[in-house]
Chains A and B, each alone.
Chain A
Amino acid sequence: MARYHVLHETRYDYGSAVSLSQQTLHLVPRECAWQVCRSFDLAIEPVPSWSHRGKDAFGNPVEWVAFHQPHDKLHVRAEMDVDVRPHLPSSLVAVLAWDELAERLTYKGGGVAPLAADLLANRFRFESPHVRVKHELAIFADDCFARGVDVLEAARALMEKIYTEFEFDPEATTVATPVMEVLEKKKGVCQDFAHLMIACLRAKGIPARYVSGYLLTHPPPGQPRMVGADASHAWVGVYAPGSEHGWVDFDPTNNLLPDTQHITLAWGRDFGDVSPLRGVILGGGGHEPEVEVTVTPLED
């Protein structure tokens, strides 16, 4: 098991005063079978005029905050201790062929009830605001999805294909770059690669979800530092009924299966569901946030 201390700081310095600001924060790590959050602390400056804590439609913890007084800075500091247990799937084969799975998830008609887990997974099988599912994506992914290939093997091949054919380039895209443009440019950041992989999987009829989280900033000696370690990171969960947790994670940015070096924050259909900070402000002028994430291992 790995233990971490995470510090996630976001600072906005607005060019002019913001008179009203409303934000939704996805900063509290969700509980999952392999992960426990032992402590969490959120400090916000200025002090919000109003706040409310709850869960979103996908079960992630959310904090809604609002600022009704004019302010020219916003500083959000989330600090937490998280334990992560190993959870790699024991095998990538003999779960289920991808085409069998896709067929199984298709509506059967005549009042045939779907399996409960399949119905939950179907939430992640269709288009969502940031993930258009286009025919071109199915074509791009074709060579990873030969008939009868195990769903996890197909996903692994797709991850590798994206890792090999695409270049990590923080300058090439923005938060709003559509998947189709990423496909064309062959460049992007972790968010783009995750969206692309999700779109391909959904185009093939496989449920796939967007996972946001953190990476260990300085890996143990001898191991390379992973890309995306100094900010929040994103990867992909693939529905794999029959595997230990029902879902298996893939990190197309680093071409590996996340294990104890990935800390899960939240998951949703795409980035829009789980953006760490999402808000609407009145005023403010130009503003580029400064984001800093530090993940340090804790001794047992």
Chain B
Amino acid sequence: MFTFTVRRLLFAVPTLLAISFIIFALLDLAPSDPLSDLPLTIPPEVREQIRLAMGLDQPFIIRYFKWLQQFFINEPLNIFEQITGITVGSGERMRVLSWATRSPVVDLIVQRLPQTLWVVGLSYLFGVLIAIPIGVISAYRQYSWFDQIGTFVSMVGYSVPTFFTGVLLIVVFSSWLQWFPSIYDTTLVVNSWDSFILQVKQMFLPVLVLTLFNVSQISRFVRASMLDNLNMDYVRTARAKGVKEKIVLLVHVLRNSLIPVVTVIALGVPTIFSGAIITEQVFRVNGLGQLLITAIQGADIPLVQTLTFIFAILIVLFNLIADVLYGILDPRIRYE
């Protein structure tokens, strides 16, 4: 298992380098322009100066290697310095700078990460916690009214896009009932009971929208996996031995059914970090998803490049984790 993990990690390095190059090339070939948001009153000569200051006059390959150096050497060194307080070399090195804000990309990401983890992470957690019981009951009582309703709700949750449910909830709960704010107050500091209530209130709608989506998705997996296992021979054997129905279901069947579900959940974790782009935009949650979409719209290429690359790292990493978990959970699988 250990050698397998090490081998996979080593393989990840060339994979990620290739990914970073492809992202960089794609972004460079894309026709969007960082100056397109500027008023037309800014004359062409000035635009040229701005382009030069962004380093856009340099050849593609040089810009790519510069980014590599900034991302893989300068930024880790900077984090190391901040944590330990030790200055390496002169301490002055070029960091990955966003074109729109002209500030270090990593600082932006660090600033946005907590909101995404809270809102999207919480909805993922709720999604898992709600989906498993629903999936289990739906499968155990297949075609019962509970299963039918569950299927209907998850179909709705899965097929109706979040930009629709989000706006619908705003119209109902913010405009009509005025129970919840429609705009996430990102300056709120939770330091008292009242501010905590406010925080819960403003997180309610976005978390609800995303939880609905996650529940729909995961409960389907749980149900399908449970159904596969309920018809297995070992279940019949357990029942024939006189094992209680509760133990058959929750110990024998559920444990075996969760193996593929755990993989699905692990593979879904990177999506937490990439944020829920649409939901964050609708509720104005200042998370990573919103950061990414504004960066794409404004053609803030260093920011898009760095964010997508971090997501790529997470996806590669969680694929590995899913594989390893599989090996741990299922004794039949051994990697050598």
Q: Are A and B associated in one complex? A: no
Q: List B residues at the A interface (Cβ < 8 Å).
A: none
Interface residues of A (CB under 8 A from B): none
